[in-house]
Amino acid sequence: MARLGENSYGKSRVRLSRITRVKDPVHGDRHLFDEWSVTVMLEGDFETSFTAADNSKVLPTDTMKNTVYFVARNSKAATIEEFACEYGDYLLDNHAQIAKVSVEVDAKAWERLIVEGATEATTFTMGGPELQTVHASRERGSEWNVTSGVDGLTILKTTKSAFTGFVVDKLTTLKPATDRILGTRATITWDYAVAPPNFAHARARILAALLKEFAAHNSMSVQHTLFDMGKAALDAAPEIARIHLSMPNLHHLLADLSAFGQNNPNHIFVPIDEPHGTIEATVER
């Protein structure tokens, strides 16, 4: 006999752009620009839609999409964390059959364009390939559980990176390196011990600490650098309980120029992103 197990349904990749017009008595009228992608998943009293072809409690996913725009229209949320919770609260408050809502929001890194040293009031440029991320979930009657992060943080250093002393067996061809390129496209998430008074300020402190540590660190391995980056983030943001870092090692291999009668004093490299090593860990208090 078949029985329905855990189940959920929702809407993915609802895209939203938002202009917020700001009156500034010093700098004149300015615009803020956000571009978000929203995913929502619902759990609750939906069993009969699976087992009895009864859609009487099913909120259409198209309505979930429309609700994103409806909530955004009057939203005062300054961060993706605040919007995720606001959107989820609306669904829980207006649909009694929903027991749990999970919301993910990704934000593109638009930044103000700088022209001749001055920031443009209404013109923006893409700051990087990375996305700001949040995953927020709440069960009816409980508090929000919020995990913030960044996806695709692409960073590289051309020195202060080594890899020696590793296991060598009959299949090992890798040579020890005392000065190599270290590059990664990191995915990083952090959980809060307490809700920060300002999600944006917490995010800025965490990212600044991660980048500063990556640049300054005398790396003996990706593992070594990952752990010290995590420690730096915990020190910079006492409101977070733990941070998870996934850092693929995107290799730049020294090109062999001997066939051309040339030496190669750490000058010419071949970028290789497949296959790559993958290193990940959680650093917690």
Count Cβ atoms within 10 A of the Cβ of residue 93 and give its class: 0-12 exposed, 13-18 middle, 19 or more buried: exposed
Q: How far, in Å, are 75, 95, 106, 122, 136 from residue 69 at the CA level?
A: 10, 17, 15, 22, 18
Q: Among the options 48, 57, 61, 224, which is catalytic?
A: 61
Q: Hey, how many other C-beta atoms are within 10 angstroms of the C-beta on 280?
A: 15
Q: Among the options 108, 135, 217, 251, which is catalytic?
A: 251
Q: Is 135 an annotated catalytic residue? A: no
**Alpha carbon 269 to chain centroid, angstroms:** 29
Q: Is 170 an annotated catalytic residue? A: no
Judge if the upstream peptide bond of residue 275 is cis by omega within 30 degrees of 0: yes
Alpha carbon distance, N-terminus to C-terminus of the chain: 47
Query: Residue 31 in contact with residue 19, Cβ under 8 Å?
Result: yes
Q: Is 61 an annotated catalytic residue? A: yes
- Active site positions, annotated: 11, 61, 251
